Amino acid sequence: EGGTTFLTIGAPIRHASLLIHKGSICVDGISLTVNALSDHIETESVHVELAIIPHTLLATNIGERKVGDPLHLEFDVVGKYILRSRDVEKMGDGHFRPL
């Protein structure tokens, strides 16, 4: 598709709730869009397909990554806020506790 490169990475399954189709993920400091997702329970991972445009390949080092390279992943902050608000309730004294 117009020179787009597709890259699939694995993330721990515990992060699956922070990933959505067409959402954002940051890989080694590079903000990318999630093109597709597939959960792999047997390996406790979620496979994340990324669609990388030619400019991103040229301007970053993402194209130099090899299978097995460690990656630093950061997940969309809005998703984190939603999960946090779901998992806590505000008590009358201003403190939070897990539900």
User: Can you give the pLDDT at residue 77?
Assistant: 79
User: Can you give the pLDDT at residue 57?
Assistant: 93
Q: What is the mean pLDDT of residues 39-61?
A: 93
Q: Rounded to whole angstroms, how far apart are CA atoms 64 and 75? A: 22
**38-42, 48-52, 86-90: segment of lowest average pLDDT:** 86-90
Burial class of residue 68 in the structure, from the number of CB atoms within 10 Å of its CB (0-12 exposed, 13-18 middle, 19+ buried) = exposed
Beta bridge partners of 68: none
User: Can you give the pLDDT at residue 52?
Assistant: 93
Q: Rounded to whole angstroms, how far apart are CA atoms 41 and 64? A: 28
DSSP letter, residue 33: E
User: Can you give the pLDDT at residue 31?
Assistant: 94
pLDDT above 60 for 14 = yes
Give the pLDDT band (50/70/90) at residue 46. very high
Q: Which helix (H) or strand (E) holds 8?
A: strand 5-12
Mean pLDDT score across all residues of the chain: 85
- The structural domains of the chain, ordered by start, are 5-98 (2.40.30.20)
